[in-house]
């Protein structure tokens, strides 16, 4: 709140009020920070007095308010010389005309804020941001909250109560069966959503790989591709999506001469295969969680290989 008062006072050329507000905040500021902020305001107050041809008050400011330290000695000497300039000469000095309008003085406020610590300055709509963060945290901790958001941001009523979903009142509760897929004819070994949530991959003992497209909202899926493995594959042991949801890696144990197949899932075609290590079989695979297509595969003898 004090920072707001300082902002209003500075924009409206109430220099004494602005410095008084800063003085009240000494407990929250380091001495050098307080001095730097006041120095900016006092300098602009001096130029404002010169512009108003109030030379006596400008001289008094230099004597009583403006610091007389080594760090600002050159600045102080320059300001003293300005006391003996007429209005035409002052007009040639850029510093005296930087913040004449109200919009210019808003830039002056920004200059003051730059020397103050971030913990002292409240950004716009900070309370609204904090409330939204608190609500999002409560929702993330709700084990029953499964439904998508139907509105943007925090609603007024959400401020007065903690977020809570009742098990009996939501059809998106974890134990509720929303959809059954009967595409596989053999036991399903692996199932996994793509990172972007748009595709669902599932594999069965028959090495048939189903790619389903997820309807917006996540309540329904539609078959997109049926990817066929190889007849001599025995077990589908693992699947993994690339970070951008474009590629799907499938590990099929007991398949010679290779165990890993990589598909372009959205196009429904195989891109490459990865051969077995000598005297060993790959059993698992995983894409790196990064914007690349690096793949790490592991075999039954404890070896890892990056492809």
Is 211 a domain residue? yes
Identify whether residues 228 and 289 lie together within a single domain: yes
| Per-residue confidence (pLDDT) for residue 241, from 0 to 100 | 92
Is 95 a domain residue? yes
List the chain residues with pLDDT less than 50: 1-5, 7-9, 150-152, 169-174
| Per-residue confidence (pLDDT) for residue 232, from 0 to 100 | 52
Identify whether residues 155 and 264 lie together within a single domain: no
Q: With contact defined as beta carbons under 8 Å apart, do 77 and 66 qualify?
A: no
Instruction: Indicate the SS3 state at residue 214.
Output: strand
Q: With contact defined as beta carbons under 8 Å apart, do 14 and 47 qualify?
A: no
Identify whether residues 60 and 155 lie together within a single domain: no
Q: With contact defined as beta carbons under 8 Å apart, do 205 and 254 qualify?
A: no
Question: How many domains does one find in the chain?
Answer: 3
Is 182 a domain residue? no
Identify whether residues 74 and 11 lie together within a single domain: yes
Q: Would you give the distance in Å from CA 28 to the centre of its chain? A: 28
In this prediction the pTM is: 0.45
Identify whether residues 130 and 229 lie together within a single domain: no
Is 181 a domain residue? no
Q: Residues 209, 210, 214, 219: what is their CA dihedral angle, to the nearest 10 degrees? A: -120
CATH number of 215's domain: 2.130.10.10
Identify whether residues 25 and 70 lie together within a single domain: yes
Q: With contact defined as beta carbons under 8 Å apart, do 262 and 273 qualify?
A: yes
For residue 87, what are the contacts with CB-CB under 8 A and spacing of at least 6? 53
Identify whether residues 56 and 141 lie together within a single domain: no
| Per-residue confidence (pLDDT) for residue 150, from 0 to 100 | 46
Is 11 a domain residue? yes
Please give the Cα distance from 113 to 37 (Å, whole number). Answer: 8
Domain end among 80, 114, 148:
114
Please report which helix (H) or strand (E) contains residue 263, including its range: strand 258-264
Orientation angle between helical segments 102-114 and 31-51, nearest 10 degrees:
160
Is 214 a domain residue? yes
| Per-residue confidence (pLDDT) for residue 247, from 0 to 100 | 93
Domain end among 68, 87, 114:
114
Identify whether residues 160 and 218 lie together within a single domain: no
- Residue numbers of the domain that contains 136: 126-169
Identify whether residues 65 and 139 lie together within a single domain: no
Identify whether residues 100 and 135 lie together within a single domain: no
Instruction: Indicate the SS3 state at residue 201.
Output: strand
């Amino acid at each position: 709140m004090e920072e707001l008062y300082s902002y209003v006072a500075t924009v409206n050329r109430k220099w004494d009020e602005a410095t008084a507000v800063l003085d009240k905040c000494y407990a929250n500021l380091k001495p050098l920070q307080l001095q730097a902020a006041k120095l900016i305001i006092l300098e602009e107050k001096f130029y404002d007095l010169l512009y108003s041809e109030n030379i006596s008050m400008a001289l008094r400011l230099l004597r009583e308010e403006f610091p007389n330290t080594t760090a600002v000695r050159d600045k102080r000497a320059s300001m003293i010389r300005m006391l003996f300039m007429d209005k035409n000469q002052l007009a040639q000095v850029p510093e005296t005309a930087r913040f004449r309008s109200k919009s210019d003085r808003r830039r002056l406020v920004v200059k003051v804020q730059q020397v103050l610590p971030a913990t002292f300055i409240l950004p716009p709509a900070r309370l609204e941001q904090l409330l939204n963060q608190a609500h999002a945290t409560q929702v993330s901790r709700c084990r029953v909250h499964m439904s998508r958001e139907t509105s943007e941001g925090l609603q007024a009523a959400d401020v007065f109560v903690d977020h809570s979903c009742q098990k009996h009142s939501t059809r998106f509760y974890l134990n509720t069966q929303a959809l059954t897929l009967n595409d596989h004819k053999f036991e399903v070994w692996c199932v996994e959503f793509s990172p972007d949530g748009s595709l669902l991959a599932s594999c069965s003992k028959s090495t048939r790989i189903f790619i389903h497209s997820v309807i917006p909202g996540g309540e329904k899926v539609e078959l997109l591709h049926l990817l066929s493995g190889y007849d001599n594959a025995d077990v589908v042991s693992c699947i993994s999506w690339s970070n951008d949801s474009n590629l799907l890696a499938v590990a099929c144990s007991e398949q010679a001469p290779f165990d890993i197949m990589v598909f372009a899932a959205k196009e429904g075609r195989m891109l490459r295969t990865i051969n077995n290590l000598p005297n060993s079989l790959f059993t698992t695979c995983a894409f790196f969680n990064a914007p690349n297509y690096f793949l790490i595969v592991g075999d039954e003898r404890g070896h890892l290989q990056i492809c």
